[in-house]
Amino acid sequence: MPSVTNDNSSSSRPRNLSWLVSRRFLCLRVTGAIASGLLLSAAFPPIEWDIMGWVFLLPLLCIAPPPGAGRRALLGYVFGLAHFLPSLAWLNEIGFAAGVLLALICGLFPMFWYIIVLRIIDVLAPASPPDAPPMPPSPPVAIAGALNQCMVALSAAAVWVALEWTRGWIFTGFPWNQIGVTQWRRLTLLQLTTVTGIFGLSFLLIAFNMAFGCTIYDWYRSFRLGKPSRRLSWPLGMVVALLLPSLWIASHAPRLPAPDQTLRVLAVQGNIPQCRAFTPEQLQLCFAVYMDLTRQGVPATKPDLVVWPETAIPAPLYHEQYRTLLGELLADTQTPLLIGAVDFRRIPLTDEPDEDGERDDVRGFNSAFYIGTDGSVLDHYDKIHLVPFGEFTPFESYLPWLRDIIGMGRSLTPGREFTVLRLPNGARAGVNICFEDTFPGISRGFVIRGANVLMTLTNDAWYAESSGSRQHMLHTIFRAVEHRRPLFRSGNNSDTCLILPNGRVTDLLEDPVTGDRFIRGSRTYSIPIWNNETLGMTFYTKHGDLFAQGCVLLTLAILCGLTYHWLRQKRRLFEVVTEKPQPPSSTSDGAEPRTT
């Protein structure tokens, strides 16, 4: 008679709670990734908790990573989005959800970093013996051995720098908010950038995050074992030792003497809301604001130069009314002007005419013009690095509908020369236009060609009163320190200021009562001017991103090593699977062989 099984007997067994544990780990992992991203975002404007740059990775590092490359990639992407979505929210002011779209791209870089670092830890972490009991997953900072911890910290920092450097040029580049920017207040630490550029600070911050995470876990583990440790861990000591070069550089930096000359500049900040298509009434408002503020400021301060920001007047320089009013202004003030404006010129094409019989073409440029008191253009600089979808549409010849949707008009033409403008009182100015000052190589190009002062003419009114202008201004601090040149910044709606060669921000144009930066007004600045022989050239000016490129080479070596290790594992697994079992050996007396 067949036996009958009781279906209710399974209810007496303990319930499998693996699904609950898995869900709990999923929530913890996602929470840690979001927390790390938000902490990093909080280190930038508008919050500016710069201390978060030293600890933002801890929530992500102190939770066990998920198994599988796909889940790790997803968790790293959550970390990247949690950082870039809030820190790039100011870009949404221009429409098209631009901040969200860019964050979706930029979030890939922290994702790649997380995947690579976890793979490095997998290789360096000692494997458990086959007969060891199953253990709960450990966080990435549970790395055995001081040497392994140091190697992981340095490797993670190098990979982060390599990805930041790559983000600065791939697809025309977006070197915005490298984590080293968070330390702009630490003037002593900033001097390290004269050798390594901004990437040296990013390297220090990531290495400290990794070393600090390992140290906290070691202390916690020793406390749980009943053997509290008070010694400083080797990885943390290594990072502290890495801080010493910046202190040495700061203490041995050449002390600049009194400036040879001073350039008095009247900066005019119109604070006029930006729009895609200006009406005639808005154009007249721009004329009135900038002309009146200039006429009021020049007699009282007697400057050597008047500076207007990028596209202060939304009209090309050859606009009839613009030229007329500008000529009258120069005749009244007898002070030269440095202004940003759009210009259209005929550029020769080839010796052969085109289909219409023309031998040249009209091209548009975003330029900085140095205009003399007689109204003539003494010199100009054409912007080299244009903004994608703002000043040109990528692949517009193949996707003309994309240009029509964005509605930015005809694409501009990039300049080709790092033109240094010869201003009064011995000033040789390299003028960055808009976000060119976020690219270290552009300022370096000016200094190599003889600039003894850097300037930025920008129009951040596109982003209203968001944190975009403040984030932009912080990048200019590092251009001043990297090349040890004073930098004057002229903003359309905010953050007009002077930055000294040591990185100190002075004379910010703001409301004296409320401290509001988004104001309409003018201010006179005394820009110190030194000869190039006095200023010299920093290591970074001479050699550029040598440190970042070294991190790129190290990252490539790491990737090659990880690939070799992965292939070696696959080969061993293949050999085990395909290995034929050996037949049992027979004994002389016919007995079965003894097995152990």
- Look up residue 566 and give its amino acid: W
pLDDT at 141: 86
**Mean pLDDT along residues 227-250:** 74
- Residues contacting residue 548 through CB under 8 Å, at least 6 positions apart: 161, 162, 164, 165, 196, 197, 199
Q: Which residue has the tokens 């988004």?
A: 518
Contact between 338 and 326 (Cβ < 8 Å): no
Separation of alpha carbons 182 and 168, rounded Å: 17
- Residues contacting residue 405 through CB under 8 Å, at least 6 positions apart: none
With b meaning 16 or more CB within 10 Å and e meaning fewer, what string describes 294-319? beebbeebebbbbbbbbbbbbbbbeb
Condensed to tens digits (0 to 9), the pLDDT of residues 185-195 reads: 999 999 999 99
**Mean pLDDT along residues 425-450:** 96
pLDDT at 406: 67
Active site residues: 310, 383, 434
584 or 495: whose pLDDT is higher?
495
**Mean pLDDT along residues 295-309:** 95
Question: 238 pLDDT band (50/70/90 cuts)?
Answer: confident
Contact between 60 and 36 (Cβ < 8 Å): yes
**Which is nearest to 33 in space by CA: 106, 111, 87, 121?**
111
Contact between 305 and 334 (Cβ < 8 Å): no
**Mean pLDDT along residues 81-98:** 93
- For the chain, the average pLDDT equals 87
Separation of alpha carbons 22 and 24, rounded Å: 5
**Mean pLDDT along residues 124-128:** 62
540 or 225: whose pLDDT is higher?
540
pLDDT at 280: 86
List, in sequence order, the alpha helices (H) in 168-306: 187-190, 193-196, 198-224, 234-252, 280-301
For the chain, what percent of residues have pLDDT higher than 90?
65
Contact between 181 and 91 (Cβ < 8 Å): no
Contact between 365 and 342 (Cβ < 8 Å): yes
Separation of alpha carbons 513 and 516, rounded Å: 8
pLDDT at 447: 97
245 pLDDT above the threshold of 90:
no
- Residues contacting residue 564 through CB under 8 Å, at least 6 positions apart: none
pLDDT at 4: 45
pLDDT at 230: 54
**Mean pLDDT along residues 84-88:** 97
Give 353's DSSP letter: -
Most confident of 165-174, 247-256, 400-409: 165-174
442 pLDDT above the threshold of 50:
yes
Question: 6 pLDDT band (50/70/90 cuts)?
Answer: very low
The H-or-E segment that residue 589 falls in is: none
pLDDT at 156: 97
Query: Angle 551-240-114 (CA atoms, 0-180°, nearest 5)?
Result: 45
Question: 11 pLDDT band (50/70/90 cuts)?
Answer: very low
| DSSP assignment string, 398-445 | T-HHHHHHHT--SPP------PEEE-STT-EEEEEEGGGGGSHHHHHH
Q: Which residue has the tokens 């004057």?
A: 488
143 pLDDT above the threshold of 50:
yes
22 pLDDT above the threshold of 80:
no
**Which is nearest to 213 in space by CA: 149, 124, 154?**
149
411 or 226: whose pLDDT is higher?
411
pLDDT at 17: 55
| Cα-only R_g, the chain | 30
362 or 341: whose pLDDT is higher?
341
pLDDT at 67: 87
Give the distance between the most distant pair of CA atoms in the chain: 122
Condensed to tens digits (0 to 9), the pLDDT of residues 352-382 reads: 555 555 556 788 899 999 999 999 999 999 9
pLDDT at 258: 92
**Which is nearest to 385 in space by CA: 423, 314, 319, 435?**
435
Residue 449: CB atoms within 10 A of its CB come to 13
**Cα-based distances in Å from 383 to 283, 327, 413, 524:** 23, 24, 8, 26
Condensed to tens digits (0 to 9), the pLDDT of residues 63-73 reads: 889 988 999 99
418 pLDDT above the threshold of 80:
yes
Q: What is the 3-state secondary structure (H, E, C) of 487-500?
A: EEEEECCCCCEEEC
